[in-house]
């Protein structure tokens, strides 16, 4: 691991790992060693050399304790430091470790000049210190150079004073080689230490990533479940309403048929003509419901067959308005048509365009009382293509923002109760938007509760040159 450009996460984990190994695990053994050895020196070496060793141990332990507290603070606050601050803090603590090592080792270096068997004791202590440095001072590949030089000096001096002449030189060289081996071992250990830290960091990152993905998937599943529950509730409500919608005209057909049958049996058929008209109206309403369901099914299954051809859009709009005028007249509502000059022919599926316009006009006529319905057609742009915007504006009750968000959802109605004031399966607007999108256009709504509504049907002037919108 390089000290020049460390990875931040690796540095933080390295600091915490070193604090755990150097003090939590090895600390008690180290303190016991430096406390016990001066006592042994007192028994083995004549004079006051044990006092010097005790002083070194005391100074070393004091520095050691202070360094431990500082390093633990660093480990706790490492994430608050930038990269430069981390490097500087680590370097400072390596210098401190060098001072601790020097305090512990210095008295045993001095034992080289004490009476026998002091050099043997010094050599053994320094050899143990070299082992500690080689195994623990591996936080970086340069850390060993802050601590082991004092140990190597102690090894060489104590080995040299064990004998004289050439033998002393040979022993000193062997002690030096021991110190070099400690350096090599520590640098190799630093590489392994870095690999372990890197592996742990990757494992933690992988665990965090997995946890994040699990949370995301759980959230997505919760949303999907909520949507599925809402869709299921909407479908259940739709089926209940559809059952009511289908039964109503069927019951009317059956009921009036029975009345006509009774009239025929009695010979009094004076009211049969009116009853037959009611049967026809109920059957027509039933057929409309079935056609709406079939249309939605074709659209959602992608089996809608559009047949584009050129036709007079102005004539279509005027005819559609004429169709709903009787309904509007019953509600004392006037109808207005405004067509953009020069706009007459468009290429699309005429039947589906008429269906869309009639759906919008029928809704306006159904919900507007003592008001005005205005049908307006103007030029517009749909992407890079010329198009028409057909607006149906009414002065009806308007639609709240909450209900506007549900207008174009399948199986959703503003009034889902069986006692609602107006008939219908609530599929007209859904089908209208899906048809418009299939022809390359769309339907938008603008409304304010109590101030009427405006539905605008956008269609390309030539749908054969437009990519159909998805029906989903």
Predicted pLDDT of residue 406: 76
What local confidence, expressed as pLDDT, does residue 2 receive? 42
Rg (CA), the chain: 47
The pLDDT assigned to 161 comes to 92
Cα Dmax for the chain: 150
Please check whether the two domains, 231-301 and 309-465, share a CATH topology.
no
Range with the poorest average pLDDT among 39-53, 62-76, 140-154, 421-435? 421-435
Q: Which residue has the higher pLDDT, 233 or 180?
A: 180
Place of tokens 């008690």: 28
Looking at residue 92, what is its pLDDT?
Answer: 80
Of 108, 122, 102, nearest to 162 by C-alpha is 122
Q: From residue 9, give the alpha-carbon distance in Å to each of 52, 70, 202, 342, 367.
A: 43, 20, 10, 70, 66
**β-pair type (309-312, 345-348):** antiparallel
Mean pLDDT across 204-228: 88
Pairing, β 372-382 against β 442-447: unpaired
Range with the largest mean pLDDT of 49-53, 143-147, 255-259: 49-53
How many residues are given for the chain? 472
CATH number for 231-301 (one of 1.10.10.10, 1.10.287.130, 3.40.1670.10, 3.40.50.360): it is 1.10.287.130
Across all residues in the chain, what is the average pLDDT? 82
| pLDDT at residue 404 is higher than 50 | yes
Q: Among 125-139, 221-235, 292-306, 375-389, which stretch is predicted with the lowest mean pLDDT?
A: 292-306
- pLDDT, one tens digit per residue, over 307-346 is 899 999 999 999 999 988 988 889 999 999 999 888 788 9
Measured CA distances, 42 to 118, 119, 158, 402 (Å)? 10, 14, 18, 91
d(CA 141, CA 3): 9
Q: What is the per-residue pLDDT for 67? A: 81
Q: What is the CATH number of domain 309-465?
A: 3.30.565.10
What whole-number distance in Å separates Cα of residue 269 and Cα of residue 287? 27
Of 49-53, 212-216, 274-278, least confident by mean pLDDT is 274-278
**Beta pairing class for 372-382 and 334-339:** parallel
387 pLDDT more than 80: yes
Lowest mean pLDDT segment, chosen from 22-31, 163-172, 406-415: 406-415
3-state class (DSSP) for residue 58 = helix
Q: Is pLDDT at 160 greater than 90 in this prediction?
A: yes
CA dihedral (101, 102, 105, 107) positive or negative: negative
Q: Which range, of 147-156, 204-213, 378-387, 423-432, averages the lowest pLDDT?
A: 423-432
Identify the CA nearest to 304 among candidates 260, 341, 356: 356
Instruction: Please state the domain extents for the chain.
Output: 8-213, 231-301, 309-465
pLDDT higher than threshold 70 for residue 103: yes
Is residue 429's pLDDT more than 70?
yes
- Can you tell me the mean pLDDT for 347-361? 91
> At residue 75, does pLDDT exceed 50?
yes
d(Cα 81, Cα 78) in Å, to the nearest integer? 6
Has this prediction a pTM greater than 0.75? no
Residues near 99 by Cβ (< 8 Å), separated by ≥ 6? Answer: 63
Distances (CA, A) of 86 to 94, 130, 136, 264, 312: 12, 27, 20, 103, 78
Cα(175)–Cα(124) distance, integer angstroms:
11
Confidence of residue 472 (pLDDT cuts 50, 70, 90): very low
Output the six-digit token pair for 14: 């390295």
pLDDT for 4: 38
For residue 175, what are the contacts with CB-CB under 8 A and spacing of at least 6? 123, 152, 155, 156, 158, 159, 160
Q: What token pair was written down for 456?
A: 């605008």
Contact 304, 471 (CB under 8 A): yes
Cα 400 from Cα 381, distance rounded (Å): 28
The whole-number average pLDDT for the span 359-373 is: 90
pLDDT at 424 over 70: no
pLDDT tens digits, residue range 227-275?
Answer: 888 778 777 776 776 676 677 777 878 887 888 887 787 777 777 777 7
Q: What is the pLDDT of residue 390?
A: 93
- Residue 419 confidence class, pLDDT cut points 50, 70, 90: very low
């Amino acid at each position: 691991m390089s000290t020049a450009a460390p990875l931040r996460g690796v540095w933080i984990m390295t600091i915490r790992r070193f604090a755990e190994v150097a003090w939590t695990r090895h600390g008690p053994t180290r303190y016991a060693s430096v406390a016990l050895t001066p006592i042994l020196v007192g028994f083995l070496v004549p004079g006051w050399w044990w006092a010097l060793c005790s002083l070194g141990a005391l100074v070393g332990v004091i520095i050691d304790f202070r360094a431990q507290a500082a390093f633990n603070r660093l480990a706790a606050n490492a994430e608050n430091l930038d990269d430069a601050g981390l490097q500087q803090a680590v370097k400072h603590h390596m210098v401190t470790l060098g001072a601790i090592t020097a305090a512990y080792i210095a008295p045993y270096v001095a034992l080289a000049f004490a009476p026998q068997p002091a050099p043997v004791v010094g050599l053994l202590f320094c050899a143990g210190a070299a082992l500690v440095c080689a195994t623990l001072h591996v936080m970086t590949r340069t850390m060993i150079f802050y601590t082991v030089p004092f140990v190597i000096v102690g090894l060489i001096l104590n080995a040299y004073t064990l004998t004289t002449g050439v033998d002393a030189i040979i022993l000193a060289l062997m002690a030096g080689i021991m110190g070099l081996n400690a350096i090599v071992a520590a640098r190799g250990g630093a590489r392994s230490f870095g690999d372990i830290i890197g592996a742990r960091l990757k494992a933690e990152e992988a665990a965090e990533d997995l946890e994040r993905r699990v949370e995301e998937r759980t959230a997505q599943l919760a949303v999907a479940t909520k949507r599925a529950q809402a869709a299921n509730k909407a479908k259940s409500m739709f089926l209940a309403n559809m059952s009511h919608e289908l039964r109503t005209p069927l019951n009317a057909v059956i009921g009036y048929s029975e009345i006509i049958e009774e009239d025929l049996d009695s010979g009094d058929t004076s009211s049969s003509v009116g009853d037959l008209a009611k049967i026809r109206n109920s059957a027509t309403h039933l057929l409309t419901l079935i056609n709406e369901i079939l249309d939605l099914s074709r659209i959602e299954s992608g089996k809608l067959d559009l047949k584009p051809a050129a036709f007079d859009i102005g004539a279509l709009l005027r005819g559609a308005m004429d169709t709903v005028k009787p309904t509007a007249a019953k509600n004392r509502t006037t109808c207005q048509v405004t067509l953009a000059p020069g706009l007459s022919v468009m290429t699309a599926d005429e039947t589906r365009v008429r269906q869309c316009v009639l759906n919008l006009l029928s809704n306006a006529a159904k919900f507007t009382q003592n008001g005005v319905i205005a049908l307006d057609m103007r030029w517009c742009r749909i992407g890079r293509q010329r198009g028409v915007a057909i607006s149906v504006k009414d002065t009806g009750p308007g639609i709240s923002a909450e209900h506007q968000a549900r207008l174009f959802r399948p199986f959703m109605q503003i009034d889902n109760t069986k006692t609602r004031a107006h008939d219908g399966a609530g599929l007209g607007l859904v089908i209208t938007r899906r048809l418009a999108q299939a022809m390359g256009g769309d339907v938008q709504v603008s409304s304010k509760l109590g101030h009427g509504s405006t539905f605008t049907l956008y269609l390309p002037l030539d749908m054969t040159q437009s990519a159909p919108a998805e029906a989903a």
